Amino acid sequence: MKQSPRILIVEDEVKIRQLLETYLQSQGFEVTATPSASEALLCFAALPPDLVLLDLMLPEGMDGLSLCRKLRAESDVPIIMLTARSDEMDKLLGLELGADDYITKPFSPQEVVARIRAVLRRTARSETSSEADVLCVGRVRINLTEYEVKVDGEPVTLTPSEFKLLVALLRQPGRVYTRLQLQDAALGGAYDGYERTVDAHISNLRRKIESDPAHPQYILTVFGIGYKGGKDSE
Ligand code: CA
């Protein structure tokens, strides 16, 4: 069974920190509380939390924004930002920090717990669904978490670029992509000026996926534009 969720609180104001710590513990959470970003990083490494409650304004050293970015760069841990004013929150939303939620001060501890539970529920759900993240189009079956592709039940070996291209095309069959968009989506945006690179990957993919590469069903050419995924009209 899953133990109580562990929450890391990063808040320099003693009163707020203690209030949150006490209240969260009374609600069955494991709590680590720290006043500074540098300590928070140590706590994060020592006892990885299930969620981080992060004050935007931390006085010394690293502020909440930088800490949020740093955590997000190395982890998918859910993060709820605490902010002092609602106009700060508008700014935050524009920054696309990757925080999962924002709470404006003053808040009640009950509200914080409700938001924590909501974020944990949401992230738990997306984890379970991604475990079984399978894309099926006609005879093609793509397991997105195991990077495995089967056609008619037979495993097909694809390069990472081919895999990403196939996923991009078949995730939304019928949607038209330019070569440049595919280059962005599948090849990391390292556009080398040679649209033929995408064409080369596409032709390899067709050879591996299509029963008749000359008359593709899954990877269709849109003349003058690019490619689209087929819906297997067989
Ligand atoms: Ca503060």
CA distance 161 to 3: 39
- Residue 160 is predicted with a pLDDT of 84
- Residue 19 is predicted with a pLDDT of 95
Mean pLDDT on 2-21: 92
**Does residue 188 surpass a pLDDT of 80?**
no
18-22, 50-54, 183-187: lowest mean pLDDT where? 183-187
How remote is the CA of residue 36 from the centroid of ligand 1, in Å?
9
- Residue 174 is predicted with a pLDDT of 85
How remote is the CA of residue 55 from the centroid of ligand 1, in Å?
6
- Residue 100 is predicted with a pLDDT of 83
**Does residue 127 surpass a pLDDT of 70?**
no
Q: How confident is the model at residue 2 (pLDDT cuts 50, 70, 90)?
A: low
pLDDT digits (tens, 9 = 90+) for 195-221: 678 888 899 999 999 999 999 999 999
- Residue 89 is predicted with a pLDDT of 66
How remote is the CA of residue 135 from the centroid of ligand 1, in Å?
45
- Residue 25 is predicted with a pLDDT of 96
Mean pLDDT on 25-45: 94
Mean pLDDT on 10-38: 95
How remote is the CA of residue 64 from the centroid of ligand 1, in Å?
9
CA 55 from chain center: how many Å? 22
How remote is the CA of residue 202 from the centroid of ligand 1, in Å?
52
How remote is the CA of residue 26 from the centroid of ligand 1, in Å?
23
How remote is the CA of residue 16 from the centroid of ligand 1, in Å?
9
Mean pLDDT on 179-186: 80
How remote is the CA of residue 13 from the centroid of ligand 1, in Å?
6
How remote is the CA of residue 76 from the centroid of ligand 1, in Å?
24
CA distance 224 to 195: 12
pTM score: 0.55
pLDDT digits (tens, 9 = 90+) for 72-102: 888 889 999 998 876 776 666 656 677 888 8
How remote is the CA of residue 84 from the centroid of ligand 1, in Å?
8
- Residue 37 contacts residue 10 (beta carbons within 8 Å): yes
**Does residue 1 surpass a pLDDT of 50?**
no
**% of the chain with per-residue pLDDT over 70:** 85
Q: How confident is the model at residue 176 (pLDDT cuts 50, 70, 90)?
A: confident
**Does residue 234 surpass a pLDDT of 50?**
no
**Does residue 152 surpass a pLDDT of 80?**
yes
How remote is the CA of residue 61 from the centroid of ligand 1, in Å?
12
Strand partners, 154: 151
How remote is the CA of residue 57 from the centroid of ligand 1, in Å?
4
How remote is the CA of residue 12 from the centroid of ligand 1, in Å?
5
Q: Where are the alpha helices (DSSP H) in 1-148?
A: 14-26, 37-46, 64-74, 86-95, 109-131
Query: Is the Cα dihedral 233, 212, 214, 151 positive or negative?
Result: positive
- Residue 219 is predicted with a pLDDT of 94
